[in-house]
Chains A and B, each alone.
Chain A
Amino acid sequence: MAAFRKVLIANRGEIACRIATVLRQRGIASVAVCSEADADARHVRLADEHVLIGPPPVAQSYLNQDAILEAARATGAEAIHPGYGLLSENIGFARRVAEAGLVFIGPTPEAIEAMGDKARARETARAAGCPVVPGSDGPVEDDAEADRIAEALGYPVLVKAAGGGGGIGMAIVEQPDKLARALTSCRDRGRSSFGNAAVYLEKYIERPRHIEVQVLFDHFGHGVHLFERECSVQRRHQKVIEEAPSPFVVAHPEMREGLTRAALAAASAIGYRNAGTVEFVVGQDGRFYFIEMNTRLQVEHAVTEAITGVDLIGWQLDIAAGLPLTLQQADVTCNGAAIECRIYAEDPEKSFVPKPGRIAAFEPPTGEGVRFDTGVGPDTDVTPYYDPMIAKLVTHAGDRAEATTRAIDALERFRIDGLTTNRAFLQTILATDTFRQADYDTGWLERYVKAARKAQA
């Protein structure tokens, strides 16, 4: 099978720009789609042609499956790259793309489905020998059973409502005499919020770290891992700074073998193909547990590209075209360290409210080991309709300390006038002792922000 001649990019912003650039490098024609708000956007200008698919709101444009499929048909594109977010993990869309005789650049709809249902994904991962967070495996019958399970798991435990997510009703229970009360309160919250009083228990991982493994699989069952990334620096479940390799794994080198083997096993178990990421929560003791698999490219894939030199989007295209993954595990090496900073149009001084606006002057930083992926440029409106991430800065160096210094310096050189961003906030975080020593966990940034606010008041 030959590579594609023309590919439609069903996304916007920096990732659509990146995909368009990779397509150009490979001599593949590109088709951008855009909403009315994005008619002059950078991704539209970088693509060979573009199709207007609807008004600004995503439901009527970037999530409008009919319009996107029609754009592919009208332009003669053979494949659709969904990027991340939007339609990238939409089972119905992946099916419709295939039914239209086109190629969805990603896994099969069955694989998306297998990992989309969290309970099923957990079972699949466990059956594949991937550790999962120990818990009650379904709702607990009564207080007596909860007591018994909590004792077996070991305190602290997490009480969660089975009916919904978002942490609603969730409580950490430190000791046995507090359990009954937490169960009652969680059942009440579950009943009032989701009409479901069922609760379940999970072991509470203290000061957890978020570590994920990038994998690539082809149609012939051959797969490799591309080491791990760490994304523990996050706010409100939104990643802010990511890095590869994980400094925690570097400090506990014995972990890597098990972590990467577990990721490959989970992906293999569902016959995964294309690029994917297996996410783990890691305790301070180095034990790791499967959380979920992202069946798509991730925002932070660029740090993996930096340390391995592997072009992930290029491989996505080749694999989707049916070509074999010629990369062998021994070919994938980890060189130096890379750090990604997400640049958001938000105001850290005002509780991080999103800040749409108009960019006047704009000069991306350049320099050794600096990569800057963006969907905006000078004289661009950053509209309120889409995600506030306007760019990502990736710095790569021989070691983590130097990559950090390069990030701070590049942020300083980055010129952006007219728009409020988190640039100075990123520099502050990068310069903290906690970040320098990588002594963080997924709750650290939130605690840091709160403490800084208190100190100011």
Chain B
Amino acid sequence: MAANIKAHITGTVWKIEVAVGDTIAEGTVVMILESMKMEMPVESDDAGRITEILVKEGQAVKEGEPVATIELD
């Protein structure tokens, strides 16, 4: 089953920490968003394999917007 990893805040993608194909554990930092001078890590709620990265570094994202997809273990 696939799931979306979503941005939990509105901000800009500062750094992407995973690549397509990476197998990650629950709680892994997928990317770091920057909002109002604060760096906020986006953690995966699930364990699985990253199948798609939906954003680029520097891109603006809205709260709730999917930023990556994951194939669940």
Is chain B found bound to chain A in the same assembly? Answer: yes
Decide if A357 touches B10 in the complex (CB within 8 Å).
yes
Residues on B with C-beta less than 8 A from A384 are 9-12, 34-36, 60
Residues on B with C-beta less than 8 A from A354 are 9, 11, 35-36, 38, 40
**Chain B CB within 8 A of A345 CB:** yes
* Cα separation A57 to B57 with both chains bound (whole Å): 13
**Chain B CB within 8 A of A377 CB:** no
Decide if A356 touches B10 in the complex (CB within 8 Å).
yes
- Tell me what chain A mostly uses at the interface: helix, strand, loop, or mixed: loop
Q: How many A-B residue pairs have CB under 8 A?
A: 38
Decide if B36 touches A387 in the complex (CB within 8 Å).
yes
* Cα separation A385 to B38 with both chains bound (whole Å): 10
What bracket does the count of chain A residues touching chain B fall in? 10 to 19
**Chain A CB within 8 A of B6 CB:** no
Given A384-B35, A384-B60: A353 touches B40 (CB 8 Å cut-off): yes
* Cα separation A355 to B11 with both chains bound (whole Å): 9
**Chain A CB within 8 A of B8 CB:** yes
Decide if A386 touches B10 in the complex (CB within 8 Å).
no
Decide if A356 touches B37 in the complex (CB within 8 Å).
no
B6-22 vs A, CB cutoff 8 Å, 1 = contact: the mask equals 00111110000000000
Residues on B with C-beta less than 8 A from A385 are 12, 36
Residues on B with C-beta less than 8 A from A346 are 36
* Cα separation A388 to B9 with both chains bound (whole Å): 13
CB distance from B60 to the nearest CB of A (A): 7
Residues on A with C-beta less than 8 A from B35 are 353-354, 356, 384
* Cα separation A387 to B38 with both chains bound (whole Å): 9
Pairs across A and B, CB under 8 Å, 12 listed: A57-B12, A346-B36, A353-B8, A353-B9, A354-B9, A354-B11, A355-B10, A357-B10, A384-B12, A384-B34, A384-B35, A384-B36
Interface set of A (CB-CB < 8 Å, partner B)? 57, 345-346, 353-357, 384-388
Interface set of B (CB-CB < 8 Å, partner A)? 8-12, 34-38, 40, 60
Extra inter-chain contacts (17) besides given A355-B9, A355-B10, A384-B10, CB under 8 Å: A345-B36, A353-B8, A353-B35, A353-B40, A354-B9, A354-B11, A356-B36, A357-B10, A384-B9, A384-B12, A384-B35, A384-B36, A384-B60, A386-B36, A387-B36, A387-B37, A388-B36
